Structure 1
């Protein structure tokens, strides 16, 4: 199963990498518009987002819109090779290098448990199964949240070109509640 996931990951990331910077920028703006309209929450809800690495979706336009609607935002921070946490962040706050090629809030920012988790991924299918980047950071973070009694809404963030016919899944894999791409927002769980 690892080999099948690795092959799907590689092919999907190659398609994503083939998008021009202009396409990624335009699609990220479309994702922000769809996400603003579709993601329901009350003011004060904690939403975990992420800043783009490599050719990922740029969530900054969506993050600003969610913040304007009253969301409290947080970003992932790599603590070690196995662990990420989510630190509180507001647009305009300074960021520091946080590992894995990412930037995020510094150690003075509060660690929080998100109510909604915007999840980066390399591939997804029409049933809400996802393939991450292979390090398992989000799988472990989601498992820790569940162990604490938290049950965040999991929304995958991707470009349409990252969809595959079937993601092989294992018992520890947690399916997404929804996916957000440039063509819209799709709920998997009702």
Structure 2
């Protein structure tokens, strides 16, 4: 388990600096390994609808996983960033159905389903920068997924919450705030980690 010190901003800076040193081959290889590990998760094997995201930059690659889920017949929902940083959702129809949006994001070109569509997902794949041994996730700091997690809680929805990370992003401790939520599992290229504190 990697040890980082400091507050959220310092932790984010340290983790992003490590990601900045990754090559395109590192990112691609991690994405392929993540897909293999994630597809073995019972939470995804039994899912009919999965809310996911399209990785960008040096994030662990999600494209192989999105395509594999779709090939299984899973309905894959992808986020569409709204002006207030909340997330709408649209169905993934394949790589040719993605368009470049603001902030360099790739989003589905199809019809919007509304922010509440995520409450119907059996599993939600979350981006992140780190997770600790309790299952506390560190996001990028924009607040979009904090809103998603709060929306799920308000709706009484209980999908599997899974964060996708690199191996060295499982850390000793993530600083937490009252609005933060625990995740159920983290998938890295070499392992799946489950967190009992999240209640599954």
Could you tell me which of 155, 172, 175 is aligned with 1:168?
Answer: 175
C-alpha contact (below 8 Å) 2:88/2:112 kept by paired residues: no
CA deviations over 1:112-147 (Å, ceiling 9, x no partner): 222211100112212211111111100111111221
Residues of 1 paired with 2:104 and 2:16: CA distance? 17
Q: TM-score, normalised by structure 2?
A: 0.85
Count of paired positions: 188
What pairs with 1:93-104 in structure 2 (closer than 5 Å)?
93-104=96-107
Equivalent residue number for residue 11 of structure 2:
8
Q: Secondary structure at the match of 2:171?
A: coil
1:15, 1:162 within 8 Å by CA — same for their partners in 2?
A: no
TM-score under structure 1 length normalisation: 0.90
Q: Which residue of 2 aligns with 1:154?
A: 161
RMSD across aligned C-alpha pairs, in angstroms? 1.9
Structure 1 or 2: more helix by fraction? 2
Q: Which sections of structure 2, spanning at least 5 residues, go unmatched?
A: 1-5
Partner residue, 1:127: 134
Which of these residues, 67, 71, 75, is aligned with residue 72 of structure 1? 75
- Aligned partner of 2:50 in structure 1 is 47
Paired residues for 1:95-114 under 5 Å: 95-106=98-109, 108-111=111-114, 112-113=117-118, 114=121
Find the aligned partners of 1:150 and 1:83 in 2 and give their Cα distance.
18
Is the CA contact 1:34–1:184 (under 8 Å) kept in the aligned structure 2? yes
Moved over 6 A (4+): none
Shift of 1:92: 4.3
Contact 2:12 2:129 in 1 (8 A): yes
Q: SS of 1:143's equivalent?
A: helix
How far off its partner does 1:16 sit?
Answer: 1.7
Query: How far off is 1:74 after superposition?
Result: 0.9
